[in-house]
Structure formats: C-alpha cells, structure tokens
Structure 1
C-alpha cells in the first residue's frame, strides 16, 4: 500500500466523502482511506448542488471519471470539495476550509485533472475522452516509440496550474496522479520501490493505451518536505498563490487558510490578521516562556514588519478587504522588504510604535484585542476590526529634491544625503514620514483621482543598524527602511503604495510604487521631509488624523467607483472599457457560469474595432477576407435545396447553382467581423477581465438599488444567501432583457413588443460535408418550420417557431428530420426558450444608473447584427464619460449625453429591423415599413445629436456612409491608413483611452498627420482645408472641426474643449 503521512492529534479529517460504490455522500466516522480530487471548476460551477446525502443525477465528467479511477484501484471513498463541503452549514463549511491542508495532506492519493479548463473535460483515457496516442513506427520486427513530453511540463502548463485554489491543493498532496491529454503521471513521496511497482502494475492494467509515467522525486511544486521549516516560507507561498487566478476575488484569504495553518512548527503557529501573516507562539506558550523579554517573540512587531509587504507590480482594489492587507489588492505578493529571519528583532526595535484598533467606538491596543479573542483568526473575518491606527516617533532628516537617475529609467529617484546626517539619523527610533509627490504624468494623477500634486502620508516601520550595514557585506544594498504609503481622501485614508530607501554610497534611492492596475510606477518626482515629534505620543481621537505632525494612519476599504450588473457580453465589455480608462469595477452576476447556449454568433467590424482598442482582437478570429455568409431555404440539409441568399442582402435571391460572391465594398474598417459563438467570446472577455483585475462576483442576485447625490447602493444576496450592500459611484445595468435594475427603477419600454416565444435545441453532429458553403438553413417542410445554423465548432442549433416543449426522443426526431438522415451520431447538449421581441426603454439613464445592452434595448436576431453589437457600442460610449467625470476633469452633465446619443441609435435600429424582409411579416398592416438604409451606413455612419458636438442639427440624416459624411461632427472618424516610419497603421489606432485627439495636416496645429497610405486625401476624408482640423473624442467620434485655421487657434480650441468635454476648469492651451 502507499505510504501515509503520520497524523497528529490536532489534524482534522473530512466531514464527509463520496462512496463511489453506492454513489452517496456518507459521513466520516473515523480514520478512513480516501482519494481527493483537485481540478478546475470552470463552468461546472453551475452544476446542481447535492441534496442531503444524494449526489446530483448529472455530475461533471471529471467527477464521474474520478469515481471510476477510485473503484478500479480497489478503493471506495472520494473527497470532492463541490459535494463534500456543505455550504448551507456555514460554521462547518468555514471550519473545513480552514482544514484544507489536513484534508489533502491525509488523502491516500490526490487525482489531479491537468487536462482541459473545466470539470466537463474529464480525465483523458478513463471514459469517453481518449488520450493522445504515443506515436510509433514499425521497422521490420522492431517497433520504435517516440519519446513523450515531460509530464511535469504538461502539468505546469495546464489550466490547473494557473488557479489559486488548486495551488494549495497541490502543496499538501502527499501522493498524486495527474491526468494530462498525453499521459498519466504518478508521483509518490518517499514510498518503497515495491509499492511504486505495485501501483505501476495496477495503473498499466487500468490504462492499457500507454502514456503512463512515474517519478518518486519530481518536485512539481517544491512543496511540503522542507518549506515549512523556514520562517520566510509563508512569503514564498503567498507569492506563488497570488500569481494565480481567482474566479471570486472574495476568496482571496479563504484560499490561503491551509497555507497559513501549516506554516510554523513546535510551539510557534502561523496566525494572520486579514491575511497579514504573524509567526509567533500561542498565548499559552508565551506564558510558558516566562517574563524574560529577550525570550518572547514580539507579536505586534512581527505584524508591523509584515504589514510592509510589497508587490511585483500594481493591482486594483479588492473592496472586501482593508487596503493595508495584500488581500485588498489584486497583485502578485512579493513579501516584506526582508525575511523575518533578517530583521534581528530584539524587543527594542519597535517598542515605541503604538498599534490600535477600534472596537465599539473605542480604541483598543491591537495585541490585547488579539489575545482577547485567543488568536482564533481563521473564522469569520467580518468580526474583526478592519481599521488600524498606527503611531511612531520621528527624528529629523534633511533630503534635497529628488533627481531623475536617467532618461531611460524612471523607476527610482535619487536624493543626495550628507555623510554626517547619514550617521546621525540612524538610531533606535522609528520614523514618521511626510512625502510630497509632484506627479509629472496626468495618467498617475487621474488614477489616484487627485489634483496634479498630492500629499501622501506614511510610516517607516523598520530600519537596519547603520554600522551593521557598513560593516557586513551581507547587508550591502539591502533595504535600509521601508514605508507603507497611504493617500488621504474623503473616505479616510488608504494604502496606495510603498516606499523603499536603500543605502548606496551615501545615496538614498526613493522608489515609489502605486498599488493600482493602470498606474505606471515610477513616473513621478519624489522629495521627502522627515519631522521630529515627541516619543511620548498619544492615541489620536477617533476622527482620524490630528492637525500636528504626529499623525495617525487610518487604513480602510474604499468603495469601487462603478458597479456593473450582468457578466455577459455587454457587462464584461463595460468592465474592460472602464479598466482601459483606469476605472475599477465590481461585476455582479446571478448565474454561476457562462451559459452553455452560444446564443449570438455574428460580431461586426465596429465591435472588433472596440476589441482592437482593448487589445484583445488578436484572440478573436476574424472571418476570411472573402467570406460571404449564405442562408439557404431547404427541405433538409440532405434533401431538396430551394434557394439561397446572402446574409447581408435579403432582397436578392439566387438559385444555389448560380451563387455569386458580391463585389467587395469599400474598406470602412481595419477589422473584419467575427463569426464566434457568444459563449466563446464571453470566455475570452472573462479571462481577460480577471487578468486585468476586474472583480467578477458570480451567484450574486441584486435585490434592491438605492441612490443619492453621491453614490449608488446595491443590496445583493450572495451565494450563501446573505444580504450584503455594495456602494459605488455609478451603476451600469447590463442584466439583460428582463433587467432587474430596470424593473426596480420602473423604467417603461416601447416598440413593436413581443412577437413570439421560441424553443431551441443545441446539439453536436458531424454535418460539415452537407453545408456546401452555407451556414444558415431555413427548414421548410409541411410539418417542420424551423431555422438551423452552425457555430463552426461542431455545434448546431435548431430553432422552432413555436412554444412547444419537446422531450428528448421528439427533439432527436426533429433534428434527424432537419438533417434528412437518422443514422448520424447526434449529441444533445441543452435546450432553450426565449422571447422574440423588440422593445426600447423610454430612457437609458435614471440618476446615477445607466441601462446598456438588452436592458436598454431588446432587439431580435437580425442580419444587421443589432443585438449584442449595439450593447457593446453602448458601453464604449459610456465608459470614457464615466472616467472623465470620476477623474474630476468633466462635469456630470457629460453623462447626460449618453441617453441623448445612444437611445436614438437603438430606436433607429429597431425601425430598420422591420424595414428588412425578415421581419416585415411582424408589422401591423396599418404600419408601413420604413425605408431601408444601407448596411454600411447603419454600421459606420450613424449620427449622434447632443450638446457634446459643435456643428450638428436635427435636419441631418440619421445615417450615411462614412465617405458621404466626410468628417461631419457627430459621426465616428472614418478609418484610413497612415504610414509612419514606413509602417502602415489605421488612424483608429491613434484614438482612445482618456485622450482627445486633434487631427490636422497643418504643422501650425502642432499635430501633423503622417503621409497617407491609401487613396484620397486627408482633406476630402475629414472635410477640411489644408489648415483645418478635427477634434476627436476618446471614443473616436468627431466632436468639432474647423475647415480653416481660426484667427486665435489656442483660445478657439480651449473654448471648444471646454464645451464638448464639459470641462470643469477651463484653461487656455
């Protein structure tokens, strides 16, 4: 049998496990051998939860496969977090989370799902999913096998290796077997070779198709054996943990509880306070050590030292946790300035620092509070005070203004320090530092939402003895002092970065970094001032900071500026657009995972331009250059074909035998459309959003929304059924056609209304050979009127023009009837029911709440792509406006232009749907169909009418082609190619973020456009003369143009920007 790790009395076993023979969840009454499963949940998070002791009828494939492995290995019990942790029992659930280390540590073996990205992928080679066979060649009587990929490489490059939760599962697994697409790999820890051979034989019998490997000493994660003996181990583990991805940012600390629990040994135990590790003894052990201060581990000092953590790069806020904790920021932890072992704490280092917390409006000593709660810090953090009050005495230090080191390195700034001062200031005292930072970059200033200059406050919490630093090479170039830096604002104060001082030949290097996703560290000048205060400091009043130099630091959570309700295409696009503008967001979504039904598939060139600006267009495959989407009316795919039409030309029908690809149109965009299923695009957006720090919270149901003049407060029910409140500056409702937010605000809708309810079935079938270049089929049979289309990945959808519920045999019969064959393999994935409707909200704005996507305009699927695409264009219009107002550059009146600009677009698209042949049948006889506008005009040339433009009026057409508009204000700047340094690029690539762009051929404007690469002149394209210019908004729309140079261009431009940008403070340029 496999070697087991010895159990300690304090170790906790699982509460329940799965009996793989009975398919039941059974309680654990005593020691038992069980197998643990470690895998990436992915979309399987939406799976049905267990009811009592019964497993759900439909389990993720990986769980079914793991149960098979357990049975085949002659074992009985399997532990899976999804089914063995009862989230309805809150105390038990939290206790089991705290014991994750023991659960995986004492599993007989851990099965690692190192293939695929979710639970539905399964374990290759166990059931229906086969592993990639090992290539071989036969030469005469000899068979030669190709060497296989190093399995450790396969595991390291798997999705499993990128997730935060699976990290600690791998850390604690004593023995494990990893399933990859190529092979199965087993690793044991110090087992006897005979036992390994026994497992090898059993595994070979179970997996006869080859691809099995084993290694007794392959340090995949370099985990358990020695790392815990090092005091600095927790910093290494947190660094690796935070480098991985979390689906739910609220799990940031929960995912580390096992790591924190197992760190430390003997009488010393690793505790934590909101994730800040504290390595020290329990209270009972401290008493046993006696009253000798030199033998006592300074708990408060250890906490303060670890409070000076830093990160490898900036990251956005996690509002659930305090800003002074690493958990309050989505960034890769780099640990404290130096490991605990190098601090040399002797009881005198930080004795003059006072640390307090507020409990029931009274300031209490922090360590006394911790001793009072017996260091039980692994439970509900909500019971702990999140605000810290820190005080420290100071000594004088004179520093001149920082000088930039070099033009190529903005990361550090130097300040010269006199040698005498160097020796004078380093002593046993601690320092309080006031730092004034002159920001030379508006980007950093706008990120922190401050003026061009701001005052940051911080406390240097430690330093090294100067003589030791000079005498021992060990300390050369080490951090001399480290300060956490906080920003004082209306909400109190919060950590925004860190400051390091390093000795280097009497040169003090100041390194300032901002803890924010979009701020670029180092782009600022730093000068410092240290002030002396009395060592006998008093705890300040609860209001926060005092007026004198002895100032406390109050670190609190800061509300996120924008709340987004809905994590589908529009909501995720909104989050990415706001992230691009450096606005953090919280995204609330009621569903546990992305819908399995692909829904939309066509995304237009204008949408791809937005994703191009967001930097993700390379992940979205565009349609081929000569692609022409065809639709055919057929009896069945293998039966009679009646006629076919082009997707973009409903008026011209052709016999299938005489199809012709229409002549290419003028290139109005650098991007082509994409025929990507919505579920795949949503996956790209979600992964990108998480990588960029967006806080996505699934299984959160919005119950109520309130707003006042300063904020929006949303009441949400979390996955545990608890009501919580989230506050933000604004809210974007992207929660679909049945929008909860719209209903709560009682915003009515009008339009054609409900037309019919339809049913659909999503299935997988090998039908490519019958497509003949056609992707969409109208099935026309006497007893079957349906629409069928492919998602180009083996999946098809059959849509019925009725609201009849069909069982699986009836669905299979209908699918076979549409195909014209009944002998093909058909795999039914899911079914759907949805309403065909056309409705537009009466307003897209209600105070600080904005509607976007289907919540604002529900439009039926159509050949113009007016559904999801229109919603994505909504948030592109809104995001830069929110960023401008939140940064204080523009007044809130700018936000009023959102409804004025976007609602007419939705109304026009609503009318254009019924001007096209597909939906004319749904018009009332008394309602005449409107005039059909050109597709390119609708896509690239719709006109905005608001007071955010100069030179527009209501007499202009609502849509024209870009070349017909010729640079008309209120329209999007037309695409044209430009050559710069011999490289062509689209002018659209020079527009965006929070900048306004002035285009002109005249050098007098100070912005010269490079040589054109395509035909036509700059003047013709934008409708200006040689000295004219056009002013573009951040979303690429032309806000103003002048055909010639005005008499006073500086004043003219200043007045224009003040008007169209709704600028708060006008200043001449």
Structure 2
C-alpha cells in the first residue's frame, strides 16, 4: 500500500523524543509522519531513568508503567554513586545527588533521608494517605534502558496511527507561510517529498534545524569529549550487591580516571575523557538522530587509544581492577564503542515559524541523576502535541503555539542551572564554584520533588491570578506547597469515581488528558462550563467533586490540594496543568469564566 506523503506534522528524528512526539500527537488524532535514518535503536543503553511525571504521560496514552519495569535496578530513587580506585579496589566516599556538603539550602542533603520522587519526607513513597506520607504521584520512577523503551514507544505510536518512516534520511527541508516540506531518501535511493503544516525537530544536540534557523544557544557549553566501551562481564555482577551502580574511578597513582556504570541488565559502560585542552564540538549534521541523551558523536577530535578489542579489554580490566587470571578474555563481551561529547546548551528560541525544536535540539544537558534529559524532552512533546491538535481542529488560533517556547524554555533553563549547583557538575560551572546561571539569577539547590512535579509555567496560556506575570513566584515547589497554583501540574489526589456499577479508585490525574476540565464541589459550575463551551466553541467537561468523584481519604480534600473553597473552581488544560482557578464563586462568575476560557483556549473569533 502506498503511504500518503502529506501530514499535518512531520517529526524529524526517531529516538525517544521524536517517538514521544509522534505518540502524543497521534493520541490527539493528529496524523504524523516520522522520519528517522536508522532502522533500529542504538546498542548503547543511553538514557535509563524515567520520572513519575514521564510515566504519568505514558500511561495517559496507553503505556502502563508496569511494562517499563526492566532490569534489576530499584524501581525508584536516585542511582547511587561512589568514588573508587577500581571496582575491585578501594571504595571511598559516596557522592550524593543533592550535594555532599551541608552548607546548601536544600533540606534533603542526606541521600538516605531524601524523599523518593513520589513520596513525602515523613513516610515511605506510596504509603496509604494519612499515615504520615504525602503521595505526590500514583506512580514511581522506572529504570529501563533507552534501547528497550524505544520499541515500546514505536509499537504504541503505530497502534495510534503514526506513520514511522525508519531508514529514511532527510536531505532537505523548507518552510513558507503556508506549510513545510521535507525531502528524504532511503537506503535504496528512493526519494520522497513530504508536505505538512509543521515540523517537530528532534534531531539532537547538533540540530541541523537549529543551525539553519540561526538560533543561538546559551549555557555552560562544551564540557568534555568521551569514549565509552559497552560490555558484559558476569563475574563482576556481585559488586552491585551493595546498591551502588555508578563508580567514579579516581585517586590512582597511575592517574587513570574513568566512570563505570551498570545498567541493571548485565550491561556495563566504561567512559573516559578524550579531550585535549582546547577540545571543541565538531559539527556533524549527519548525526541527527540522537534527540535525548546528549551523546553526540565526535570522530574528528578524539585522542583515545581503544581502537582494538585487546586495548578495550585492557581498559576494562584496569577499571575493574582485575587481571586476566580472574577475568578472562571470554568473560568480557564487548558490545559497542562510542565517541561522544557532553555539553550544556539551551536554545534561545524553541521555535521559528512552523518549526519547533524538542529534546536535545532545544536543550542539551549532560547525563545526570536528576532525570533532566530525556524526561524534559518527553514533557516538551506532550506540551506541544495538544496545542497543535487544537490548532488543527480549529478550536484554537495558531497563536497558542507561541506558548510552547514561553512554557518549556524556562523549564530547560532552570534544569540547566540546577545541574551546575550540584556537586556532580559544579566544577564545570564558570568560576568553578557553581556561580553561573543561564537564568541570570542566584541559584540554590531545589527539591527533587519540586523539580519533577512542581515547575511552573508563566505564559499567555495561564491566568496566574494575583501573582500577575508570575515573576515573583519561585521556579519550582512541591505540589502541596503550590496547592493548585495556576501554571503548575494539577496535584494528585486519590479519588473514587462514581456512576459505575463498581466504584473505581483513581488518581485525580486520570480526569485529565483528553480535553478541558472544570472541577468544583459546587454543582452550580456545571451550567457555567457548558455555557462557556458553547459560547467559545471549545468543549469544557465539568467534574463535580462529591458527586462524580469523591476523595478516597477525606483528610486529603480537593479544597486543600487545589487551594479553593467549597464554591471555588479549577480549570485544567488538556495537558493536566492548571490554567485558572477561583477560590470562591462570586457575582458575575458566568461571564468572567467565559472570558477567561476564551483567553486560555486561544479560541478563534
């Protein structure tokens, strides 16, 4: 069957963020063609940790979190890292994600006392409501390697109708006031021209789109060039029994420094710096498939000496601290060798005309234990998809698309800065002391839960209320501190859905994701939602708390979590973020809500 060569959206790049874009667009019934020059995933595991928020997004499009539990790693928490002279040699200091010193402003310095990403500081994650734990998400983070997650995303995207063109390489593209076009060629030399309305550029850290559009970047910049060896070695698996999976090799008499990491599935990676003092990124626009892990290949600027299997095994043994009498050649299965750069750069614009940058094309960040790489890209894709769908359906004016940059770029800037105030990357910050910020503001270490579930959007798509433009608000807080602040993710509240034969316990998050939702305990808002939907031309579902749903634990009330009174209401966008709220129902609320609804939906006319 001949594939159509027209689609509203063309996605370039078929790694994690490209696949996520195709997935979320298809879930909103937007036809999409994805162009990816490779036919399969890279053998390198690359990204591995996915936050509760990413799992919430995937569950919303039919990928259950249970399908992402892979390997032997812990289901939640940060990977533990320790300084060693070798894997079998002396182990010294544990390196904590939230900094090793106590003289910072984060109250979670001690890694052992940190709240897990979905649980509060006073109890275990996922504990029953009211027992001292604060549960921020119904899900816990997952550890699955990128090469095993990508096939899951591909299958689901195809099920939802996405057209994935694997093995096709983009050779040219163009945009005009009326649309976009992409020319691609496959390995058999066949050529095709695709026409559409928008391009989502997920073409990686060396984005050809970003370069062609002349979009500059800000940030710390190039960090280092590295070589990595992927291998299996069964005789050393028992070294993981103490809970550490990352090993910083340093302090040796021979000066050898490297980084060793386990991926929980029998695979290990050994990485070491290959930079000369003046090393810099070498543009390579052919490597445009890597949109989420910051590992941009650099074959022109490497100084490694691991070009033979013998040399590679020798380096592995040096890192392991075990000789050939203990680890034989046949014990070390060499999987792949990679050459890549670490850098930190944020594009100064996330869109230009009809082209939108996502993932590493928009924000390149080095691998980190905060989950700021691929997870940030997933959220990019989710933020953009519903807006494109609204424009395509005629429900919203195209000006809504400007809020993609307004909302997602500040998130990336904050995540960039959070990396360089933590000990893992602080030495790379200008001045060597973490004293430089892409945001231009003083940076303090922010709480992990706040970073994952509590970053705020300030845009024309949000009515922030008395806070005006929101500049006086913090960049991130925990959901129970925000208490339903417009511009933040709607909080998780355990609820029971009524109206079915068997009452079903759900998360409040399950109410969102399909369209606009107005929530209130006051049933008088139902007619307001219906009336505004009719006047504006955009459907607005009303959910009455106490009738349609009730709190599973009356101590965790809708009012407390969303910051409203008994007659107040909260408007939630299709992406699960709060667009507006009213603490109480006041006089003239019907007209006020209709005006607000027209504004935040960007309704035409």
TM class, shorter-length: 0.7 to 0.9
Matched, 1:1008 2:528: no
Q: Relative contact order, CA 8 A, sep 6+: which one is greater?
A: 2
Which whole-Å deviations, capped at 9, do the CAs of 1:812-832 have from their partners, x for residues lacking one? Answer: 111112222233301000011
> CA, structure 1 residues 774+652, in 2 after alignment: closer, same or farther (shift >3 Å)?
farther
Matches of 1:938 and 1:965, distance apart in 2: 13
Rounded Cα–Cα distance in structure 1 between residues aligned with 2:144 and 2:75: 15
Secondary structure of the equivalent of 1:958? Answer: coil
Alpha-carbon distance, 1:922 to partner: 0.8
- Please point out which of 381, 385, 398 is paired with 1:875: 381
Contact 1:949 1:970 in 2 (8 A): yes
Runs of 4+ in 1 over 4 A off after TM superposition: 622-628, 646-653, 658-664
Match of 2:350 among 844, 854, 862: 844
Q: After superposition, where does 1:490-529 map in structure 2 within 5 Å?
A: none
Q: 2:481 pairs with 940, 964, 967, which one? A: 964
Is the 1:629–1:646 contact (alpha carbons within 8 Å) kept by the matching residues of 2?
no
2:518 is matched with which residue? 998
Distance 1:1030 1:890 in 2: 20
Report the Cα distance in structure 2 between the residues aligned to 1:997 and 1:933, rounded to whole angstroms: 30
SS in 2 for 1:687: helix
CA distance in 2, matches of 1:983, 1:922: 50
Q: Secondary structure of the equivalent of 1:784? A: coil
| Secondary structure at the counterpart of residue 918 of structure 1 | coil
Q: Aligned residue for 1:806?
A: 306
Q: Which of 580, 594, 604 lines up with 2:41 in the alignment?
A: 594
Spell out the pairing of 1:591-670 with structure 2 (5 A cutoff): 591-617=38-64, 618-621=66-69, 624=74, 629-647=79-97, 650-651=100-101, 660=112, 662=114, 665-666=119-120, 667-670=135-138
Deviates more, 1:617-626 or 1:960-969: 617-626
State whether residues 1046 and 1052 of structure 1, in contact with CA within 8 Å, keep that contact through their aligned partners in structure 2: no
Is the CA contact (8 Å cut-off) linking 2:407 and 2:458 kept in structure 1?
A: yes
| 1:903-946 Cα distance to aligned partner (Å, 9 max, x none) | 11111111111111111111222872532111111111111111
Instruction: Tell me the SS of whatever aligns to 1:942.
Output: coil
Q: Is the 8 A contact 1:596 1:830 kept in 2?
A: yes
Q: What CA distance in whole angstroms lies between the structure 1 residues aligned with 2:18 and 2:305?
A: 31
- TM-score of the superposed pair, with normalisation by structure 1: 0.46
Separation of aligned partners in 2, 1:717 and 1:1052: 53
- How many Å separate the matches in 2 of 1:957 and 1:820? 47
Matched, 1:785 2:257: yes
1:759·1:805 contact (CA, 8 Å) conserved in 2? no
Report how many aligned residue pairs link the two structures. Answer: 507
For 1:642 and 1:879, the matched residues in 2 are separated by 47
SS in 2 for 1:839: strand
Alignment of 1:816-855 (within 5 A): 816-821=317-322, 822=324, 823-824=326-327, 825-855=331-361
User: Displacement, 1:734?
Assistant: 0.5
Q: Unaligned regions of 5+ residues in structure 1, if any?
A: 1-251, 254-317, 321-558
| 2:229 alignment counterpart | 761
Q: Are the structure 2 counterparts of residues 750 and 724 from structure 1 closer, same or farther at C-alpha, using a change threshold of 3 Å?
A: same
- By how many angstroms is 1:762 displaced? 0.3
SS in 2 for 1:775: strand
Q: Deviations over 1:100-119 (max 9, x none)?
A: xxxxxxxxxxxxxxxxxxxx
Question: Aligned residue for 1:487?
Answer: none
How far apart, in 2, do the equivalents of 1:684 and 1:913 lie? 29
In structure 1, the partner of 2:367 is 861
- Which residue number in structure 2 is paired with residue 775 of structure 1? 245
Partner Cα distance (1:979, 1:715) in 2: 51
Question: Quick one: distance in 2 between partners of 1:972 and 1:649?
Answer: 27
With the length of structure 2 as denominator, give the TM-score of the two structures.
Answer: 0.80
User: Which residues of 2 match residues 95-106 of structure 1 at below 5 A?
Assistant: none
- In structure 2, relative to structure 1, the CA distance for the partners of 1:645 and 1:917 (3 Å cut) is closer
Q: Hey, what does 2:574 align to over in structure 1?
A: 1034
Q: 2:155 & 2:144 partners in 1: Cα distance?
A: 16
Aligned position for 1:229: none
SS at match of 1:813: helix
Deviations 1:48-84 (A, max 9, x none): xxxxxxxxxxxxxxxxxxxxxxxxxxxxxxxxxxxxx
Question: In the alignment, what sits opposite 1:319?
Answer: 4
| 1:564 maps to 2:11 | yes
| Structure 1 residue 650: Cα displacement | 4.7
Note if 1:915 corresponds to 2:417: no
**Using the alignment, how far apart are the partners of 1:891 and 1:692 within structure 2?**
25
Q: Distance in 1 between matches of 2:408 and 2:589?
A: 31
Specify the structure having the higher radius of gyration (Cα).
1
1:182-230 per-residue CA deviation (whole Å, 9 max, x = no partner) reads: xxxxxxxxxxxxxxxxxxxxxxxxxxxxxxxxxxxxxxxxxxxxxxxxx
Contact in 2 for aligned 1:705/1:741 (Cα 8 Å): no
More displaced, 751-760 or 1051-1060? 1051-1060
CA deviation profile, 1:752-771 (whole Å, cap 9, x unmatched): 11111011000011122111
1:662 CA drift (Å): 4.7
**CA offset digits 1:373-423 (Å, max 9, x no partner):** xxxxxxxxxxxxxxxxxxxxxxxxxxxxxxxxxxxxxxxxxxxxxxxxxxx
Alpha-carbon displacement from aligned partner over 1:939-972 (angstroms, at most 9, x marks no partner): 1111111111112522211111111111111111
Distance 1:764 1:1041, change over 3 A: same
